[in-house]
Structure 1
Amino acid sequence: MSFELPPLEELLAHSHVVRLPMRVKFRGVTQREALLIEGPEGWGEFSAFTEYGAAEAARWLAAGIEAAYQPFPEPLRTSIPVNATLPAVAAKDVGAVLERYDAPHTIKIKVAEQGQGLDEDLARVAETRRLYPQAALRVDANMGWDITQAVSALKALSEYDLQYAEQPVPGITGLAEVREQLRNAGNPLKIAADEAVRKHTDPLEVSRLGAADLMVIKAQPLGGISAVLDIAKHAELDVVVSSALDTSVGLAQAAALASALPALPYACGLSTGTLFSEDVCAEPLLATAGYLPVRRIEPDHQKLESLRPEEARVGWWRQRLESCYAELARE
């Protein structure tokens, strides 16, 4: 970390655990839990997915502490172009989900969902293209295919004029192989690295190995704004800032990151606030006409209380904060 850790007791004393209900299942969950930290500069979020161990989740905690204890960088833009995110819903439900977004000019479509097949992916993408013929479409497989499946699927999905495909297979070498096979087949579809960046001990290896055309980066998993700006500076790849299914508090940090990047050639994945039926503030951070404002978020204390889960879960998050704090203290 680029700043001194505050005392653990102080973090615990100013932390609030919340559980947000979701409108649709996303990443296998219908409720999203987070621990929010109130600090001298504002609020930070610690919401590492529950299956992550302490070593990986510690970077998420570092990001939450940074947001609460450090000022956001000077913004280069006051609003961020954002994409709509379409979960792996049935084709018949595409319209209803996307209607919740305000003027979607760019749409990220989840594919390769466990238990579904390519036919369902094709139907979902085809329906999205039919409803939004002028929108930029991108697909995200979340490492759901092997190399053979990915090449076959992306050739078929390319018929719908995709902007890029995000993390079709696990790992960096897998991405490089998919990209090479597509190029050898004359397919110019761009490949974006997400998990290969945020789950790797050296995020810059994606760039060195030519495994992707762009990087999807998230503030929490990579340790906060300062860490991500440093990665983006050295990667020499286009960057897309995305949400880690954050509450409005985490989205505010991600928007501040996007606002500080020297270049922002693609719409960012920061419109996931529409996936929640409740949020932690009276005015959730939502896009207007496809753009997300850059601003700090002040949670509503009544909402913090009403969204607080049962004490067993509150205790689990507080213990998790302690174990992740210990990881950061050892660095």
Structure 2
Amino acid sequence: MFTPSNDLERCAEVGHIVGSMSGITIAALVSSSLSLYGEVVMGDAVDSQTQHPTGRPPIIACFPPVDLLSSYITGYLTSVHQWYPIIDLNLLGDSLHAMYQSREHMDLFPRFVILMVAALAPPNPDDMNDPADYFRFAITLVPSLLASKTLDGIKVLLLLCIYGMRSWQCSAAQDVNTWELIGMAMRLAVSIGLTRNNEKWSFTLAEVEHRRKVWWSLYSMERYIAIMTGRILSIRNEGIDALMPQTLYETLPDRLLAFLPKSLTAVDYRPFVHLIEQRRLLGDVLGTVYITYVNRTTGEHTD
């Protein structure tokens, strides 16, 4: 099973150079990029009496009820994970088992993942909470999750971006600044070496494959956000030598299957691979059609 580790330290061991943010924490930057109902991102401790600029106390959802988990996980796997395989499914299965069956203590990241699965899956009419409620609960964990530069931090940013891209079709009150968040995720990815294919690094085969999935999910998402917002790309294709994911089908782990209908036993990643190629072409279009180049000598603009 893939176990998330401190990627920053492991890349540093093999000579990877990581830059500094000059004392500005990523968590603080992300907090300024999240805008939901005009409220600010809070820390881990949530005071139910705390008043927000709206004059209302925060609406904090509980974790999804166990009898609705099957619909939420199924919805997430088919509508999100098949296109952006960000979450390690073994971790998701272990986290669900720990929370709903063995009642074990869980770290913040697995809690965040469960909440975001409920926030990103199609809403269930039998649930008293809606996706926005789960999202608002999830973002209370963000400052602590982004306190250090890790692969999990990149996944946090990507899940926030997916929610933000969906909010483009909703009211501005649920807006998330996806352009800023995807830029932070891209820089974190470069700093921990996701863009590189270095066989000397001491990652297991499972870790390497998972890092590829996270990187190409980030690449695909960044190209789409750049096209939709008319912004420049964060990285050129020439600066990437990471290999494409090798796994096109993944059998769901037993602990995850316990929360799913019997008809769902595996995930097909071919849509993910095709989406990467489409987004690569979109990025090329952005670079050749929508970006204006300036002659540094004459100052003239060329198409």
* TM surpasses 0.5: no
Q: Going by fraction, where is helix more abundant, 1 or 2?
A: 2
Q: Give TM-score, length-normalised by structure 2.
A: 0.31
